[in-house]
Amino acid sequence: MDIDRTAAHQAIAMMLAGIQIRLEEAARIARAASACVQAGSIHEGVTLALDIEQGIHEANRLLDAASFLKRFAAPDT
């Protein structure tokens, strides 16, 4: 079953943009957590780093969806 290639490509592009946003936020959190640890606040750094989990989960789900959609999109010509 093939789906419209243009629509699939647009959806995949949006998913990849969403992944980028979530990973950039995760990187910002990781930098802040690292700064806390370097300043001597290990507990605060680890607690802050735990906020990364949701964004990583969402990025992974978007990646799964993009991969799935690519499989059903009409091949490039």
pLDDT in tens, 21-74: 999 999 999 999 999 999 999 999 999 999 999 999 999 999 999 999 998 776
Residue 72 lies in a domain: no
Residue 2 lies in a domain: no
User: Which structural domain range is residue 52 located in?
Assistant: 26-67
Whether the predicted pLDDT of 77 surpasses 50 = no
- Total number of domains in the chain: 1
Cβ contacts of 63-67, under 8 Å, gap ≥ 24: 63/15, 63/19, 65/15, 66/11, 66/12, 66/15, 66/16, 66/19
pTM comes to 0.84
CB contact at 8 A, 71 and 8: no
CB contact at 8 A, 5 and 76: yes
Question: Can you read off the two tokens belonging to residue 44?
Answer: 């605060």
| Tokens 């010509």, residue located | 77
For residue 12, what pLDDT is reported? 96
